[in-house]
Structure 1
Amino acid sequence: MSVYDEVTLWSFMFLLAGAVGQTVIYPFTSTCAVKRSTLTLLCSFTPLKSFNEGGREVPLKIVRVRWCQNHELCQGTTPSVYDSKSTKNDPRYQYLGDMKTNCTLQIRDVQERDNRTFRFRMEADNAAGHYTNRTGVNVRVVAGTKMRIISSSEDKKFRGNETVTLLCTSVCTFHQLEVTWFKDGHALSETGLSLHLGPLTAKDSGNYTCALKANQNTLSEPYSLQVEAGADVNLPLIVGVVFGVLLAVITLILILFIIKRKLAAAEDQSAAGGEMEQKHPDQTYSIIMKPAKPEEEEEAHQQGTSQAVEDISYAAVQFKPKKQKSRHMEDADEAVVYSSLASRG
């Protein structure tokens, strides 16, 4: 029965108890226990709140609770396994309930003599409030049984990072067991019925067994678990390393690309500057020079004209005719030259 079903059953029982008044409810009327294990008998009760006496309502209060073996009424001098009025109760029987609604009994270190029917009785400050549920709980004690391991997976070979849960159980399923887990004969710290393993690594390979903590004779048959060698690779670590390498490579490529772009830009700028100097030196000089004023332009024009005349005179002086001139002609030429020079002065 699942936890949800158990809660539903208890809720229904409490509603029923409220409807009919005085009740004692056992969720399970039959159960079994492995010898030397711990067994819990769940129980709840609803006492009678009051009774009618001579036409008036008299309130009731529970003053005593008892658990007995086999006796149907559990009253009077009947031996009890637990009696709230007694100081000589067997310590193996622990009352986990109270005097109001909870009557749960726990049996520790179950023995073969506990193979009985257990019944709960409540007693009030007036006999009208006494009540025993005769149905009781039938306990069956199993001796010499072996525990067994059930796996959450049908496979016994696993790969790294997988998970598996091992369950230590017996023929009795209606009680909680305190067990000891072993791996290759060495005790583990876990004491619950289930052992969760994962993420698996090669170190988890081995033979697992379990037994009742109070009875090592219940040791189960070994469950062999194998994790494939080399399969316990840390996937997140690999992903991180690969990502880091890719990031480094991309960063290096970007740096090289930026450097190449900068070098190319520098070369283009240098080439453009040299070409401008070669193709347009006069133009560059003319841009730098300050434009001349009109008076300066006129003076320059006159100086240019004088320079032209001087060049012509100089050319005439240096010119040598191919044929020898006569003396008369030489005198005439010298007069022309002299007149030219005189006009310059």
Structure 2
Amino acid sequence: MAVYGEMILWSFVFLLADAVGVTVIFPFTSTCAVRGSTVTLPCTFTPRKSFSDGQREVPLKIVRVRWCKNHSVCQETTPSVCDSDSTNNDPRYQYLGDMKTNCTLQIRDVQQGDNATFRFRMEADNSKGHFTNQTGVTVRVVDGTKLRIIRSSDDKNTSRGETVTLLCASVCTKHQLEVKWFKDGHTLSETGPSLHLSPQTAEDSGSYTCALKKNMKTLSEPYSLQVEAGAADGVLRLVLGVVFGLLLPVILLLLFIFIIKRKLAAAEDQRAVGGDPEQKHPDSIYSNIMKSAQTEAAQQQEPARAVEDVSYASVQFKQKKQEGRRLQAADDDVVYSSVSSRG
């Protein structure tokens, strides 16, 4: 019995010595994910640099990395969700790390079967460098959970020019979500869990919602955002008001002077062409009036003169006619007298 206990102790010491300098660190060992979302499992590791073969120190190099599901060893023929040596990995699982220090795994379009514990394993060019983290990260998948919108500050009323961040979150807030953002029912171009509004304008006011890209049942409750005029806008309006108040009288004065100059210029042009009747000398005006009066009088007298001339001509004609008749009678008397004497 004592010998058996000693063997276990030495085996434990050997394992510790064999794993000296090897670390795998997870920021969290458990998380939850909404079905249809994307969950990221951050991970960093420090591989064993070398080992001693009894004569010299032999360097080690990591040549393979793997992630397994619900397996404590994750070696040899154990199924892997992600294997750097495989070309037939499930595309939902993406290794975001490298062969040096980063071992982050991302699971896209989370399904109910991802409700499991995931463990990371590194393998070196010598078995002395192989290592599997036993702790792993446990993922709990939830279904049918509505999302909610959280903002960077508690005040829903913000001013123009400020920066506001809206976060689309669920009961699981430690993983990345691929979502659709909506404003007043219209789809926005952003797909990340955070919506940055910077700098804010009046057009940013509205009702915002978000939902998982592949699960619209998770649509959040509307979040109302009201952008108010900021202090800078108030100062700007005040400055504009003062400037406008000072410039308005000047503008009106310049406009009045411009109109007067236009009128004077028009008067000068009219005098240059033919003169302005209102600006003529009074004597000229009087002369024109007298000439007009005389013209009108002459026009009125011409018909009267014509009547008088006709009357005069008629009288003269009558007189001449009567004188002619008297002369004819006289001649007739002379002839008759002459005949009578002869007889």
TM-score interval for Structure 1 and Structure 2 normalised by the shorter chain: 0.5 to 0.7
Aligned partner letter, 1:239: L
Q: 2:98, 2:161 → 1: CA distance?
A: 48
User: Does residue 125 in structure 1 map to residue 116 in structure 2?
Assistant: no
Task: Give the equivalent residue in structure 1 for 2:9.
Answer: none
Aligned-pair CA distance for 1:157:
5.6
Aligned-pair CA distance for 1:160:
6.7
Q: 1:76, 1:185 → 2: CA distance?
A: 52
Task: Give the equivalent residue in structure 1 for 2:110.
Answer: 110
Q: 1:231, 1:71 → 2: CA distance?
A: 58
Q: 1:58, 1:195 → 2: CA distance?
A: 51
TM-score by length of 2: 0.60
Q: 1:155, 1:85 → 2: CA distance?
A: 52
Contact 2:33 2:141 in 1 (8 A): yes
Contact 1:163 1:200 in 2 (8 A): no
Task: Give the equivalent residue in structure 1 for 2:234.
Answer: 235
Aligned partner letter, 1:248: L
Q: 1:162, 1:22 → 2: CA distance?
A: 47
**Structure 2: 5+ residue runs without aligned partners?**
1-18, 252-343
Cα deviation per residue 1:244-299 (whole Å; 9 max; x = unaligned)? 235537989xxxxxxxxxxxxxxxxxxxxxxxxxxxxxxxxxxxxxxxxxxxxxxx
Aligned-pair CA distance for 1:167:
2.4
Aligned residues: CA RMSD: 3.3
Q: 2:155, 2:103 → 1: CA distance?
A: 44
Contact 2:207 2:222 in 1 (8 A): yes
Task: Give the equivalent residue in structure 2 for 1:140.
Answer: 140
**Structure 1: 5+ residue runs without aligned partners?**
1-18, 253-345
Aligned-pair CA distance for 1:48:
1.3
Distance 1:225 1:61, change over 3 A: closer
Worse overlay, 236-245 or 115-124 = 236-245
Contact 1:93 1:105 in 2 (8 A): yes
What is the count of residue pairs matched by the alignment? 235
Q: 1:87, 1:161 → 2: CA distance?
A: 50
TM-score by length of 1: 0.60
Worse overlay, 114-123 or 98-107 = 98-107
Cα deviation per residue 1:217-257 (whole Å; 9 max; x = unaligned)? 210011234567x99994354233223235537989xxxxx
Task: Give the equivalent residue in structure 1 for 2:32.
Answer: 32
Task: Give the equivalent residue in structure 2 for 1:52.
Answer: 52
Q: Which ranges of 4 or more aligned residues in structure 1 deviate by more than 6 Å?
A: 158-163, 230-233, 249-252
Aligned partner letter, 2:195: L
Q: 1:191, 1:152 → 2: CA distance?
A: 18
Equivalent residues in 2 for 1:300-319, closer than 5 Å:
none
Contact 1:161 1:232 in 2 (8 A): no
Aligned-pair CA distance for 1:196:
4.1
Aligned-pair CA distance for 1:34:
1.3
Aligned-pair CA distance for 1:216:
1.6
Aligned-pair CA distance for 1:77:
0.7
Q: Percent identity?
A: 70
Contact 1:119 1:133 in 2 (8 A): yes
Q: 1:68, 1:103 → 2: CA distance?
A: 13
Worse overlay, 191-200 or 42-51 = 191-200
Q: 2:142, 2:151 → 1: CA distance?
A: 23
